[in-house]
Structure 1
Amino acid sequence: MAVALLALAGCGHKAPEANAAAPVIAFPVKAADGAMAGRFPGDVHARYEMPLSFRVSGQLVSRRVDPGERVKQGELLAQLDPADANKQMSAAKAALDAAEHRLVFATQQRDRDDAQFKQNLISQLQWQQTQDNYASALGGRDQARQQYALAQDQLRYTSLMADHDGVITSRQAEVGQVLAAGQQVFGFAWSGEREIDVDVPESRVGSITLGQAAIVTLPALPGHRYAAHVREIAPAADVSSHTYLVKVQVERADAALQLGMTADVTLQTDQSALAMVSIPATALFHQGERPAVWVVRPTDSTLELRPVIVARYGERDVLLSAGLNAGECIVMQGVHAVSVGEKVSPIAPPHPEDAPQ
């Protein structure tokens, strides 16, 4: 009876498992849309934007347009006081009339002296003086003519005209203000071509190329999609934001695409980008100098250290272009506390927000 009791007591204790699975936080990875990896916010601009200003100084006496107005090529936008320019043109016209009169007299004198010199009625010195007077009168007339043309231009420059169809985007001068030559009066955007200005982080600008295709969507225009392409990439980063300005030109802009609208630019990638996967930054390990991840084998739940190729590093995630397929289970946290061949039991992250999106 004592032997039987001892046998029953021994059945109450289980022998420890030789290969107990260690719990690890692991989760299946999801495919990352390569196009979404190249998505950036931006805003709509005109292909050509510039300040408008007078080419001469003066007092602004009238302003014909306000911000937001559309104007046609050749339309008068603003006017400087033309009084001084009119006086300069009148003086230049009087100087031109006098120069032309002197040229007529010098021409007549030259013709008379030419005839008399051929008959030896005047000396060669007198004839040469007549030729010199004629040349001086001719040069004076040409100079006066140029001064008169310049005065006409100065008078024309007191009127600010639109040199292209477009829209007034801003106003920097008021009536009565004395302006210097070249001082901005209006901001002006040409009609027609539109583009999206995008600020790209320095870590991602290397993957963008000139001519790269893109799709533009706008929150204000649901259902509208515009084909576009990368037209310009800034050669240097902005000193304050350390981002690169990328200009994406819209290929068929319509009237619905208004200046200043917020836009989403999705850069198109090749088909290989569609095979990318995204993992949390905490899941990345290293095998020597190469990046790697811990993969849970589905056959026996043991760990495999697999090298991967990183396409982009983000703030909280890493985009992989090779080495890992969507659906494979990898260790998300505690990558330094596991080893090759270790048997594990995958568990979900303790906080739902830590799970990969």
Structure 2
Amino acid sequence: MRWHRIMLTMSGALALAACHAREAEVTPPRAVIAVTVHRDSRPVLATLPGEVNARYATPLSFRIAGKLIVRNVHLGDTVKAGDVIARLDPDDAQRSLASAQAQLMAAQHRLTFAEQQLDRDRAQAQEQLISTAQLEQTQDAYVAAVAQRDQVVEQFALLKNQVQYTTLTAEHAGVVTSEDADTGQNLAPGQAVYHVAWSGEVDILCDVPESLLKALAVGSAASISLPAVTGRRYAAHVRELSPAADPGSRTYRAKLTLDAPGPEVHLGMTANVTFADTAGEAQADDPITLPATALFHEGNAPAVWVVRPRDQALELRRVQVGRYDDRTISVSQGLTDGERVVLQGVHTVSAGETVRAVAPLHPEDFAS
């Protein structure tokens, strides 16, 4: 009985100690991904969709008609200048060249004979053995033989070129963007066999609304982001701006050249073209650009979570969004330069919750 009372006393003491230990435990603040925001130094005029294109793209075709018998490259292949990419059946061209070669030999033989006859007649004319009229006929025959020889020489050169034209070579390095003819097809002169986009300078094509025309000109700077290449922006400038609007869309086609495209930039990629206002420096009413992941809603109103500096607690702040882009939002009112805003997990936190703000592990993933 005594031992039973001792055991009960010890059990109660242990339970009370465990209760006090649990009360002493302090839950650490939750870590949230947040960054200090700043106003855009150059307010964005507009962000427009675009497409990556080669500066030059040309169709490749044969100069003569013929039957296509060989295709050495296909869609997406890379070619170098001088590569043979297709061939026509050369039989007819080679036969014509052989005929022209025979005609050239005959014309050269006639010319040799006419030259020898002219030498004999000149010698006989000096001895007054033939008349002047006969010498003139011999001279005329010699001139005609020279002219005929020259004509056959040119015809031979033309047919020799025709044989070379049965082989299609790439004039510039590039990428095959389309196949326009099949093996066995009879082609007309100039009919496209391939389209090749040249390697080298890369353009971004976008359509500009008329409301932006006054702010843009050839040479205007732009910032390019590619959805397929996250965390990087490319500098570009307007190379060409169409003087007339498209009759269907009423927009103006702009061609921008990427200043330093990398190997990760491929033809046909979609792009976001951002034009900034370069008229002045940041002002107090300039917008703040945030990743779209920071956006929350209070009712129907857009809002963001702000980390209060005095107690590290979360405050839900209503904001006014001036522009929505694919990956970013532009906050025109509601935030102050230097405040910390939660970028991720906005649906898992609550107002008044004490948090520990940490920077993104990969800041480029949240680059605006």
The TM-score normalised by the length of structure 2 is 0.64
Match of 1:147 among 155, 170, 177: 155
Residue matched to 1:342: none
Aligned 8 A contact 2:45 2:277 in 1: no
Flag the 1:35–1:165 CA change in 2: closer, same or farther, 3 A.
farther
CA distance in 2, matches of 1:327, 1:114: 106
Match of 1:233 among 231, 238, 241: 241
Flag the 1:276–1:143 CA change in 2: closer, same or farther, 3 A.
farther
Match of 1:182 among 171, 185, 190: 190
The alpha carbon displacement at 1:239 in A equals 2.2
CA distance in 1, matches of 2:130, 2:234: 85
Residue matched to 2:89: 81
Residue matched to 2:269: 261
Q: Could you list the per-position Cα deviations for residues 11-30 of structure 1 after superposition, in whole angstroms to 9, with x for gaps in the alignment?
A: xxxxxxxxxxxxxxxxxxxx
The alpha carbon displacement at 1:271 in A equals 3.4
The alpha carbon displacement at 1:122 in A equals 1.9
Flag the 1:41–1:273 CA change in 2: closer, same or farther, 3 A.
farther
Question: What pairs up with 1:1-357 in 2 under 5 angstroms?
Answer: 35-272=43-280, 275=283
Residue matched to 2:365: none
CA distance in 1, matches of 2:249, 2:279: 32
CA distance in 1, matches of 2:77, 2:265: 16
The alpha carbon displacement at 1:278 in A equals 9.2
> What is the percentage of aligned positions where both structures have the same residue?
46
CA distance in 1, matches of 2:96, 2:282: 70
Aligned 8 A contact 2:44 2:277 in 1: no
Residue matched to 1:5: none
CA distance in 1, matches of 2:105, 2:43: 72
The alpha carbon displacement at 1:232 in A equals 0.8
CA distance in 1, matches of 2:275, 2:229: 19
Aligned 8 A contact 1:69 1:167 in 2: yes
Unaligned runs of 5+ in 1: 1-30, 280-315, 318-325, 329-357
Code of the aligned partner of 1:82: P
CA distance in 1, matches of 2:333, 2:203: 39
Residue matched to 1:347: none
Aligned 8 A contact 1:228 1:248 in 2: yes
The alpha carbon displacement at 1:121 in A equals 2.3
Code of the aligned partner of 1:102: R
The alpha carbon displacement at 1:35 in A equals 4.5
RMSD: 2.5
Give secondary structure in 2 for the equivalent of 1:85. Answer: helix
Q: Could you list the per-position Cα deviations for residues 111-140 of structure 1 after superposition, in whole angstroms to 9, with x for gaps in the alignment?
A: 222222233222211111111111111111
The TM-score normalised by the length of structure 1 is 0.66
Give secondary structure in 2 for the equivalent of 1:241. Answer: coil
Aligned 8 A contact 2:93 2:162 in 1: yes
Flag the 1:33–1:152 CA change in 2: closer, same or farther, 3 A.
same
CA distance in 1, matches of 2:279, 2:125: 93
Aligned 8 A contact 1:192 1:253 in 2: no
CA distance in 2, matches of 1:56, 1:35: 56
Code of the aligned partner of 1:40: L
CA distance in 2, matches of 1:186, 1:130: 56
Aligned length, in residue pairs: 254
The alpha carbon displacement at 1:327 in A equals 7.2
Aligned 8 A contact 1:34 1:275 in 2: no
Residue matched to 2:319: none
Structure 1, 267-276 or 149-158: larger mean CA deviation: 267-276
Give secondary structure in 2 for the equivalent of 1:210. Answer: coil
Q: Could you list the per-position Cα deviations for residues 249-298 of structure 1 after superposition, in whole angstroms to 9, with x for gaps in the alignment?
A: 1122221110001112223432338559699xxxxxxxxxxxxxxxxxxx
Aligned 8 A contact 2:45 2:276 in 1: no
Give secondary structure in 1 for the equivalent of 2:204. Answer: strand
Code of the aligned partner of 2:275: L
Unaligned runs of 5+ in 2: 1-38, 288-321, 324-331, 335-368
Code of the aligned partner of 1:197: L
Structure 1, 222-231 or 86-95: larger mean CA deviation: 222-231
CA distance in 2, matches of 1:184, 1:273: 52
Aligned 8 A contact 2:93 2:163 in 1: yes
